[in-house]
Structure 1
Amino acid sequence: MAHTREAHADHSPHGDQGPVSGDSAHGDHEHAQHGDQGAHDGHSGHDHSSHVAQFRRLFWIMLVLAAPTAFFSTMFAEILGYQRPDFPGADWVSPVLGTIIFVWGGRPFLTSGWGELRSRQPGMMLLIAMAITVGFVASLGASLGIFDHQLDFWWELALLIVIMLLGHWIEMRSLAQTTSALDSLAAMMPDEAERVVGDTVETVAPGQLDVGDLVIVRPGGRIPADGEIEHGAAAVDESMITGESTPVARDVGERVVAGAVATDSALRVRVTATGEDTALAGIRTLVAEAQNSSSRAQRLADKSAALLFWFALGSAVITALVWTLIGRPDDAVIRTVTVLVIACPHALGLAIPLVVSIATERAANAGVLVRDRLALETMRQVDAVVFDKTGTLTRGEPVVTGVASSGSDDENDVLAIAAAAEHDSEHPLARAIVRAAEERGLELPEASDFTSEPAVGVTASIGGRVIRVGGPALLRSVGGESLADTEPWEDDGATVLHVVRDGEVIGAIGLADEVRDESRRAIDELHRRGIRVVMMTGDAQAVADAVAQRLDIDEVHAGVRPEHKASHIAELQKAGRRVAMVGDGVNDAPALAKADVGIAIGAGTDVAIGSAGVILASDDPRAVLSVVDLSNATYRKMTQNLWWAAGYNLIAVPLAAGVLAPVGFVLPVAVGALLMSASTVVVALNAQLLRRLDLSPR
């Protein structure tokens, strides 16, 4: 949340010293819902594993049936030049098995094609259904002596269905792989939790835990629910949340998340969230939403598939008419069937959802949670990134940046005295002073009689002498003057606290919101990509300017209240900028929603922020670069797949129609099916290359 000067001043015992600072079809029609024989009902949010098994089983059964169907086909025997076995009933082996293949193996395509026809959304499944139906009718008619024997291509029908099933099997296996992020997240929850009840410990399932329960996490064990450490300290592996492989130190009072691993020590954790309220569950929901969400590119692919249907249908009609008019009706049927097979836009339907599904999974593994696919597509066009300062570019907590002495006491003495006086205070500035003394290994003198006076500071007794620590109001009350050494601190917007002993100023301490080491690297990389960097903060201009100068930020807006941030975003957009807003959530929600891309820093706990399209599980601003790189890589793969899928069909359909027949080239329907499936495989393999993208911080 944004931190303002006023917020710190109002709560400070130090007075007015200032602050520290969318799949599938796949698309929307979801393959018109494949029939119950291996139907995959669209791909988003479903159990792809069962569909993979169904198509695998169906493929192998049909392959076994297709072998004798082709072997006993007279035309197939003539093509390969072997003598077909001749015995009573041999002529009916291919028709009988071919009919079984058509009815059983073709059922997913027939039912889905019928669904598309009923919903008036013609697409790829209707084309496949038309192709195999025409092939079946022609072959059956030839076997019964109704049609010319040249139309007896049971072997081609069998091969077509087997290849289609193989393509679907490969497709479903690829799509199933994209859900591995969800499966991995689910697997990170432990099977058991140890709950403390009085003086005993009982083993329960994580689902039986309630908020307020105390649980024990053994060394190397997974934390069963979100909570706060009540006892112990450990290096916690939170890589499944943040994408950061290095364990982080967690101590008493700090929050931990379900699924994280206490690598080296035992912890006692007080449960604050369970089940669907945990950060891990939030991430799973976000990944699922991202895989389900539609997008501009997906809608383009769906529209292209619909247009390609009419293109294929028109081409088939023209093909039939032309070959019939030139007196070759048998060739008209064969060419028409081939056109319908070649034109199946299966690869086109796979081009976008598979790329985006892999991209969102790859991002989730790196701690970048894509909630809205449109945001992922838009990020590549962003030319201005607006950062909230506190908690985003800075750590959101004060640190000691300088200590000055007025004379007799050295800097360490001043810091130790101040830390002793502040030891019993819970104010963030007091905590920062105590922490700085501990980091320097200073021994604190014993303090007593602690009191806190709002808007002035704190008072304590140390060694029989009165020690006071506070801001300008304290100086005025004792008639003291600020030290000259503090002027540069004040110019940089730091908070200055003076240390007074028995009414005499003995030193001063400068505190400021610590700038993240990663922020400068992130901003440098954004500049290298030609992106303008803007900072908005509720802090005073001096504080904002100091941070901006240190980070080389292009534009600064200081003193901005949370409700006014959205208007600044709008101004940038009016100037022609595509804007991404990076904030830490709640107070930045209007600006996150207004920006072309809202990026919320969730830090692993506040992941369910509805106003952001992208959520960074870690608080590392360099993750913004990962979003940019992922957007560019995803767009390239989408474009490549669309060009391949659509371009392939536009070139192959005329060949299937027989435009090269005058020069002796006729494309067989089985080869057409093989090429169509090859196109699907190429698209799937190209999308898989996204897994090589390196999204690690740099």
Structure 2
Amino acid sequence: MTNPEAHDTHTGHDMSGAQAGHGPATEHVDHERANSHAGHDMNGGHDGHSMSGHGGHSDHVAQFRRLFWIMLLLAIPTSALSGMFAMILGYQLPDVPGLAWISPILGTVMYVWGGRPFLVGAVAELRARKPGMMLLIGLAITVAFLASWGSTLGLLDHQLDFWWELALLIVIMLLGHWVEMRSLAQTTSALDSLAALLPDTAERVTGDEILAVSPSELRVGDIVVVRPGGSVPADGRVVDGRVAMDESMVTGESRTVTRTVGDRVTAGTVATDSGLRVEVTATGEDTALAGIQRLVSEAQNSSSRAQRLADTAAGWLFWFALGAAVLTAIAWTLFGLPDEAVVRTITVLVIACPHALGLAIPLVVSIATERAARGGVLVKDRLALESMRGVDVVLFDKTGTLTRGEPTVAEIVTVGEWTEDDVLAFAAAAEHDSEHPLARAIVRAAVERSLRIASASGFSSSPAVGVTATVAGAVVRVGGPHLLTEEGAAELAAVAAWRERGAIILHVLRDGEVIGALSLSDEIRPESREAVAALHRLGVTVVMITGDAEAVARTVAAELGIDRVFAGVRPEDKAAKVHELQRDGSRVAMVGDGVNDAPALAQADVGLAIGAGTDVAIASAGVILASDDPRSVLSVIQLSRAAYRKMQQNLWWAAGYNLISVPLAAGVLAPIGFVLPMSVGAVLMSLSTVVVVLNAQLLRRLDLRPEVVTREILGEGPSSR
């Protein structure tokens, strides 16, 4: 590793020392889970798995919304003109020829058109031998449909006219699935984002010509030209040139790194200040970028296999309802009442359809995600939100997450009568014409102190040495140890402690004499201290991971009170560190903002990306923190716990309704003269749905602003954990 005080080609500030490859959280885009809504194919797909893959969510939201409104319009005349519905509400249908056929015709349209997503899903669940909500809904609407036609044609009892119930079933279930689909954010493929790092074309040197070719056409041994501001098209070795490389999109490190002849460069990194010629050493699947892609893909495909709570409940409810229906049919037949057996059996199946259960989870998720957005938290993966409540380790990437990801002037020492302001003003004047991150940090520090920055002339930079400029008639130089060697000057004794902390050290010389030195480091976010303290209050272990040197990492960890540190971790090893924590039995949430964090984000139980990070990190996370405030993690934990409580309450209420109403509909109290009428069952079903909706609305009272949540947590006693 190069010395952190060495200098690069642009301003003399080599940022390769203590390089922080930092790792954001990974996404839980679970393809299997996306396919769990097998019946949501509304475009005629044969198997109903239209929701697999990364796209199509927004299309399905629009389709469910459109289908819901169409079915709602059809449900009004279907129900209003249904004989049983009129009888239940006590009004008389007019004696108009053909009026009795309107409900059957519209009901059939609703069954075939509006019920298709559920019927396709039911078939898929049967094929997979995993009966669940879709099969229960499909069974209920099919039984209601067949019974209603039997009643309409006079083949069955008139009480089996369920056209109104069929219409309500379809409309309410479509509403539930529309709400659910809307809560699934359209996600950008992490793999597409990674691929986008590569340039569209590469400039290959062929003899005396430079030809533009596709990166896919490159072969090992080819020489390519990388122009200033251009991306490296393939992994390779520098054969000509010296450049400050921006590797942030792959390493997560904000500081540029000097690369010169013989150094290796990675596909997707950017030459910031000059051009290079690179010999290709790896292409396609062999590149580091492709390796990260594979890690992300593997982590995505291997994570979050858990079934949703509602599906699990519906699976049990399916067998409960089916068993109850069979027992009902047998019991009533044995008592010599076959007609009543049919009525009771069908009533059981229809009442068992989980109206409220269908809304219990998606409605909570929808409201929770809306509240989260107001608190600066964007939920992409609902299982990530649910899982956050059980997290006992939060793994923070350092650079750009706990720290600002950009250098700042931390300390200044001076010589003789020179003041800190004098030294900083001279350094800022010399660096003023440079665009290098360290130069900008020095100028910014001078501006913050309201110092007058004198105009400079004769600016020049020397690779691995520093910058030189004439300021107020004096030659001012700013640089690292090579500058001191060149000038024959001694290092200031005070900087030894800075080096132990891994700081970047720059000396300032005026007319060949050292007048002071600057310590630059990655500034810790003030919110990070509160975030760590509040997580500890919740009983969560805080771990930091970074590509930085051990000294830098330990300094930050000690200042923040972090429990454990992984330092000097290479980008490709970050996911392994997450796995190491998981192997110890921990449930891990990973927070980061760089591409190199994507595999770790995918490996973690919950991946959280800082919103200011790269597209890939955002695409690889289940939760996105729109602000760069690390306290937002606390908002996610609190929301997860509150939402889970609501989900449990709703599931118990919704399932509880069925557990009580199904036996009553089956006639368990018939010996004492009570049989639950369909009308009462329908009212209870509607009431159950209303209760679920109102309970979910209580989530709107949550204030998820990070500062509010943190203040509440830090104000609690240990007993409230």
User: What is the TM-score normalised by the length of structure 2?
Assistant: 0.68
Deviation at 1:392, TM superposition (A): 1.4
Contact 1:341 1:669 in 2 (8 A): no
Q: Distance in 2 between matches of 1:653 and 1:532?
A: 46
Match 1:401 to one of 407, 410, 414: 410
Question: Residue 153 of structure 1 aligns to a residue in which SS?
Answer: helix
Q: Distance in 1 between matches of 2:72 and 2:522?
A: 58
Match 1:52 to one of 68, 71, 86: 68
**Is 1:157 paired with 2:162?**
yes
Contact 1:533 1:553 in 2 (8 A): yes
Q: Distance in 1 between matches of 2:138 and 2:320?
A: 15
Matched residue count:
564
Deviation digits for residues 186-243 of structure 1 (CA, Å, limit 9, x no counterpart) = xxxxxxxxxxxxxxxxxxxxxxxxxxxxxxxxxxxxxxxxxxxxxxxxxxxxxxxxxx
Deviation at 1:609, TM superposition (A): 4.6
Q: Distance in 1 between matches of 2:410 and 2:120?
A: 69
Q: Distance in 2 between matches of 1:34 and 1:320?
A: 38
Contact 1:362 1:691 in 2 (8 A): yes
Q: Partner of 2:143 in structure 1?
A: 130
Deviation at 1:643, TM superposition (A): 2.2
Q: Distance in 1 between matches of 2:450 and 2:178?
A: 58
Q: Partner of 2:552 in structure 1?
A: 543
Contact 1:49 1:173 in 2 (8 A): yes
Q: Partner of 1:441 in structure 2?
A: 450
Deviation at 1:510, TM superposition (A): 2.1
Q: Distance in 2 between matches of 1:605 and 1:319?
A: 59
Deviation at 1:660, TM superposition (A): 0.8
Matches within 5 A, 1:487-566: 487-566=496-575
Question: Residue 451 of structure 1 aligns to a residue in which SS?
Answer: strand
Contact 1:341 1:673 in 2 (8 A): no
Q: Distance in 2 between matches of 1:611 and 1:101?
A: 45
Ranges in structure 2 where 5+ consecutive residues have no aligned partner: 21-29, 52-56, 127-134, 187-301, 708-721
Q: Partner of 2:470 in structure 1?
A: 461
Contact 2:5 2:505 in 1 (8 A): no
Q: Letter of the aligned partner of 1:596 in structure 2?
A: D
Matches within 5 A, 1:155-234: 157-161=162-166, 163-164=168-169, 167-168=172-173, 171=176, 174=179, 178=183
Name the structure, 1 or 2, with higher relative contact order (CA <8 Å, separation 6+): 2
Deviation at 1:450, TM superposition (A): 2.3
Q: Distance in 1 between matches of 2:695 and 2:107?
A: 31
Match 1:667 to one of 676, 691, 698: 676
Question: Residue 385 of structure 1 aligns to a residue in which SS?
Answer: strand
Contact 1:294 1:374 in 2 (8 A): no
Q: Letter of the aligned partner of 1:667 in structure 2?
A: L
Contact 1:637 1:686 in 2 (8 A): yes
Deviation at 1:419, TM superposition (A): 1.4
Q: Letter of the aligned partner of 2:402 in structure 1?
A: L
Structure-2 change in CA distance of 1:25 and 1:678 (3 Å) = farther
Deviation at 1:614, TM superposition (A): 2.9
Q: Letter of the aligned partner of 1:393 in structure 2?
A: L
Contact 2:176 2:358 in 1 (8 A): no
Deviation at 1:495, TM superposition (A): 2.4
Q: Letter of the aligned partner of 2:610 in structure 1?
A: I
Contact 1:55 1:168 in 2 (8 A): no
Structure-2 change in CA distance of 1:401 and 1:117 (3 Å) = closer
Q: Partner of 1:350 in structure 2?
A: 359
Contact 1:163 1:673 in 2 (8 A): no
Deviation digits for residues 552-598 of structure 1 (CA, Å, limit 9, x no counterpart) = 11112222232333333232222222222222222223333332323
Q: Letter of the aligned partner of 1:157 in structure 2?
A: F
Deviation at 1:132, TM superposition (A): 4.5
Q: Distance in 2 between matches of 1:5 and 1:682?
A: 65
Q: Partner of 1:626 in structure 2?
A: 635
**Is 1:383 paired with 2:388?**
no
Matches within 5 A, 1:234-273: none
Contact 1:20 1:513 in 2 (8 A): no
Structure-2 change in CA distance of 1:69 and 1:105 (3 Å) = farther
Contact 2:646 2:696 in 1 (8 A): yes
Q: Distance in 1 between matches of 2:74 and 2:496?
A: 79
Question: Residue 598 of structure 1 aligns to a residue in which SS?
Answer: strand
Q: Letter of the aligned partner of 2:142 in structure 1?
A: A
Q: Partner of 2:377 in structure 1?
A: 368
Contact 1:342 1:672 in 2 (8 A): yes
Ranges in structure 1 where 5+ consecutive residues have no aligned partner: 183-292
Deviation at 1:107, TM superposition (A): 5.1
Contact 2:409 2:519 in 1 (8 A): yes
Structure-2 change in CA distance of 1:168 and 1:681 (3 Å) = farther
Structure-2 change in CA distance of 1:128 and 1:543 (3 Å) = same
Contact 1:420 1:447 in 2 (8 A): yes
Question: Residue 587 of structure 1 aligns to a residue in which SS?
Answer: helix
Deviation at 1:621, TM superposition (A): 1.5
Question: Residue 322 of structure 1 aligns to a residue in which SS?
Answer: helix
Q: Distance in 2 between matches of 1:680 and 1:24?
A: 25
Q: Partner of 2:199 in structure 1?
A: none
Question: Residue 538 of structure 1 aligns to a residue in which SS?
Answer: coil
Q: Distance in 2 between matches of 1:297 and 1:545?
A: 37
Match 2:81 to one of 46, 65, 69: 65
Deviation at 1:529, TM superposition (A): 1.4
Structure-2 change in CA distance of 1:136 and 1:24 (3 Å) = farther
Q: Distance in 2 between matches of 1:302 and 1:601?
A: 31
Q: Partner of 1:193 in structure 2?
A: none
Deviation digits for residues 222-280 of structure 1 (CA, Å, limit 9, x no counterpart) = xxxxxxxxxxxxxxxxxxxxxxxxxxxxxxxxxxxxxxxxxxxxxxxxxxxxxxxxxxx
Structure-2 change in CA distance of 1:295 and 1:643 (3 Å) = farther
Deviation at 1:515, TM superposition (A): 0.9
Q: Letter of the aligned partner of 1:336 in structure 2?
A: T
Report percent identity of matched pairs: 56
Q: Distance in 2 between matches of 1:353 and 1:590?
A: 28
RMSD of aligned Cα (Å):
4.0
Deviation at 1:321, TM superposition (A): 1.9
User: Which deviates more, 545-554 or 610-619?
Assistant: 610-619
Contact 2:145 2:166 in 1 (8 A): yes
User: What is the TM-score normalised by the length of structure 1?
Assistant: 0.71
Contact 1:414 1:506 in 2 (8 A): yes
Q: Partner of 1:254 in structure 2?
A: none
Q: Distance in 2 between matches of 1:117 and 1:610?
A: 31
Q: Distance in 2 between matches of 1:431 and 1:116?
A: 58
**Is 1:589 paired with 2:594?**
no
Structure-2 change in CA distance of 1:5 and 1:352 (3 Å) = farther
